[in-house]
Amino acid sequence: MSLEWKERKPMTKTRRLFVSFGIGIVLMLGVSVLRSLHAQAPAAEPAGAPPEAPAEAPAAAAAEPKGPDPTGAVTGTAADVPVKDAANPTLVEVMDTVGHNKIAINIVWTLITGFLVMFMQAGFAMVETGFTRAKNAAHTMSMNFMVYPIGMLGYWICGFALQMGGVGGIASLGGTAPLNSEFTVTLFGKAFDLFGTKGFFLGGDVYDVGVFTLFLFQMVFMDTTVTIPTGAMAERWKWSSFLVYAFFMSMFVYPIFANWVWGGGWLSDLGANFGLGHGHVDFAGSSVVHMVGGVAALAGALALGPRLGKYTRDGKSVAIPGHHLPMAIVGTFILAFGWFGFNPGSTLAGGDLRIAVVATNTMLASAGGAVAAMVMMMVKFGKPDPSMMANGMLAGLVAITAPCAFVTAPSAVLIGVISGILVVFSVFFIDQTLKVDDPVGAISVHGVNGAWGVLSLGLLADGKYGDGWNGVPGAVTGLFYGDARQFLAQCIGTLTCFVWVFVSFYVFFKILDVVLGNRVSAETELSGLDMPEMGALAYPEFAPAAGSGGPFPDSASTAPGAVRVGALGVETP
């Protein structure tokens, strides 16, 4: 056999790199396979032994180093329970470990669901930007982005303290003992708890794992609220006004109402003080989070007025289609996914297995909402309208947020279906009758269906869950299951939410309009807010010229008999 060396092209640098990588990986694989074969031979016998074997002799197990456990059946044994004398563990030592593990499960659960809720910010950003025009995309996206850091700091400064400073011990998080101070007034001989006063800047003696867990979880909920009005007020809101708003919402309006419902405040005491069921019950925030956001959106959209070109001179509503439906649909999916943190996480306890019911009810209602809205549009217009399908799913999710832990599966679907119908009528009513311009449907999705959510709890709570809720013995029961007073408490909560938030924000925006101005100039609005307000275009490559905006730059001028008539009496040719 003769070896002939052929002239070969020298390897390129990249190729040499790949080849040496390949050889390296094959070598490593070979070595590890050989080693695992070698290790398996003596381990074959113990693997066949029954899994309970190590439990028989904890002392011996502790002494011997544990081998690998590929099935997981023998990982986590008595040897893992810290005791002073391994031969004689005391009951207290064992109980300590059980208690620690119980709280650990709850805290890990609450943190992870909080992370899911945080991701909903991305969903909101995509839904709102998708439903608005390309010429404002950087502005709309930026609002949704900055609510997260701004809201977080505002909440850290005083929001959390006002909301949760007097909540007392939350047992599932190990007893958040330091949160023990609430400002209270006495009316009609009863104590009305108004706001908490502990935990400013999360400093001092609230340096506690339970409190920090609660802060993270409540913070992401609050941020959801702050981001809701940015949709209804999109495409015309001055950046500086938006910044002040974000602080005001996260520091005052949201925390105060949240205190009344979740922080031990007077709405939650309606049951204990006045015998109205369990007081105002809102499991995960149909009113606290969504209705607060939706009502603020209404006040804001009213204060700003409609976008230029939204209504013809004779008051006819003109469609201004969003520029990116696929983005909005993906955003809706992200929100639906995040809701698995929003609702099930609100048990604040992974050990409360009602989470199975909560999660299932949540997704059933979202299905009911999406299908109902789609059918409504197909019946009315012959086509399903993707933007309305997305609104329908979100409406179902918003509505089930309050009652998710308290209703049966058929009730959850019913709540979802009604919310899907409600959202369609509400969008038409707000757009065409009230003539309030809400580009993304935030008022209908969050405000109207938030109210429907808490009211539906008062109607359909089935009396199976919530024993001792708000300090009232017995399960939470709705009107149709025999407790009319619970429904009354829900009505009071809904009304209070509307009045508190609407009045606060209407006055706030009126004052801010004088001090700063809420709305951009007509020129800025027509050219798109991206460059004048943000200094950057979302899509520079696709903007043919300043002022031309998205694919529907001037739908107003193409509407039958349309003239551009905007708010503030501005009229442009």
Partner 1 sequence: MKKIECIVRPHLLDAVKSALQDVGVVGMTVSEVKGFGRQKGHTETYRGSEYKVEFLPKVKIEVAIPDGLAEQAVEAVLKTAKTGKFGDGKVFITSLEEVVRIRTGERGEAAL
**Which residues contact partner 1 (rule: CB under 8 A)?**
317-321, 380-381, 383, 385, 387-388, 424, 427-428, 431-432, 441, 552, 555, 558-560
Nearer to partner 1, 437 or 533 (CB): 437
Q: 234: helix, coil or strand?
A: coil
Nearer to partner 1, 238 or 310 (CB): 310
DSSP 173-186: GT--TT---EEEEE
Closest listed residue to residue 306, CA positions, set 398, 443, 421, 422: 443
Beta carbon nearer to partner 1, 114 or 439: 439
Cα(251)–Cα(472) distance, rounded to whole angstroms? 30
Distance CA 464, CA 478 (A): 11
Task: Give 38: exposed, middle or buried? Use CB within 10 Å, 0-12, 13-18, 19+.
Answer: exposed
283 in Cβ contact with 406 (< 8 Å): yes
Q: Which 8-state DSSP code applies to residue 271?
A: H
**Shortest Å distance, C-beta 481 to partner 1:** 36
CB 445 to partner 1: min, Å: 12
For partner 1, the closer of residues 203 and 321 by Cβ is 321
Closest distance to partner 1 from the beta carbon of 514 (Å): 32
Bridge partners for 187 per DSSP: 190
Query: Is 555 or 572 the residue whose CB approaches partner 1 more closely?
Result: 555
Compare residues 20 and 558 and give the one whose CB is closer to partner 1. Answer: 558
| φ/ψ (deg, to 5) at 436 | -100, 125
If you write DSSP's letter for every residue of 160-171 in order, what string do you get? HHHHHTT----G
Nearer to partner 1, 327 or 559 (CB): 559
Task: Check residue 540 and report its DSSP letter.
Answer: G
**In angstroms, rounded to a whole number, what is the distance separating the alpha carbons of residues 557 and 552?**
10
Which among 174, 168, 51 is positioned nearest to 105, based on CA atoms? Answer: 174
Q: What is the smallest separation between the CB atom of 33 and partner 1, expressed in angstroms?
A: 55
Shortest Cβ 381–partner 1 spacing (Å) = 5
CA atoms within 13 A on the CB side of 466: 29
Which residues fall within 8 angstroms of residue 311, CB to CB, at 6 or more apart? 317, 318, 435, 437, 565
Residue nearer to partner 1 on the CB measure, 180 or 317:
317
